[in-house]
Amino acid sequence: MNKFEEKTIHSQEIFNGKIIKLQVDEVKLPNGKMAKREIVKHPGAVGIIPITSDGKILMVEQFRKPLERSLLEIPAGKLEQGEEPDITAARELEEETGFRANQLDYLTSFYTAPGFSDEVIHLYIATDLEKVENPLPGDEDEFVDLLEVDLESAATFVDEKRIYDAKTAYAVLYLQMKKVLG
């Protein structure tokens, strides 16, 4: 797991923000030479695939400032400090959709951008959903639209690039696979 390890000689913090930190590490390469690594530290996140009783996926549409456009995504959110991912998953599901899941199953995890960031996403499948009367409020600065999407429409939205992020693309492919397997 440490093949070609790069030893940190010096680490400089460039930015410490609300969500991310940026540091530049000076590292010693396996051949003894030096190089710089630009590293974005992120607390990690969860993504939830909520499936309704009639087999639709609950998705949220929101504006993504880095892209200057909105995307249709599975509900997601970052881990609060010290929070276990399954707690984050339940919380974000309720905040973003107004639903609670009686069944929440861990699916998989992956690093999103290992070349420059340590962000990891933990994916969950939420089923046996129940509408909450007074759901947890979402973040003050977050505006989302809730949509019920069937698998066929999801495939179309992927083609149209309305669904266009890694976790949601993975989720759609995973559900297609499940359907093929019956």
Q: Minimum CB separation from a copy of itself for residue 118, in Å?
A: 4
Q: Minimum CB separation from a copy of itself for residue 91, in Å?
A: 16
Question: What is the DSSP track for 54-82?
Answer: TSPEEEEEEEEGGGTEEEEE--EEEPPTT
**Token pair for 156:** 């179309």
48-84 as b/e: b if 16+ CB within 10 A: bbbbbeeebbbbbebeeeeeeeebbbbbbbbbeeeee
Distance (Å, whole) CA 33 – CA 31 = 6
5 is known as an active-site residue: no
User: Which residue's structure tokens are 């939420």?
Assistant: 126
Q: Minimum CB separation from a copy of itself for residue 144, in Å?
A: 8
> Residue 116 CB: number of other CB atoms within 10 A?
11
Q: Minimum CB separation from a copy of itself for residue 174, in Å?
A: 6
Nearer to a copy of itself, 52 or 62 (CB): 62
Nearer to a copy of itself, 100 or 167 (CB): 167
- Indicate which residue of 68, 140, 142, 148 is catalytic: 140
Nearer to a copy of itself, 128 or 166 (CB): 166
Nearer to a copy of itself, 1 or 133 (CB): 1
Task: State the catalytic residues.
Answer: 140
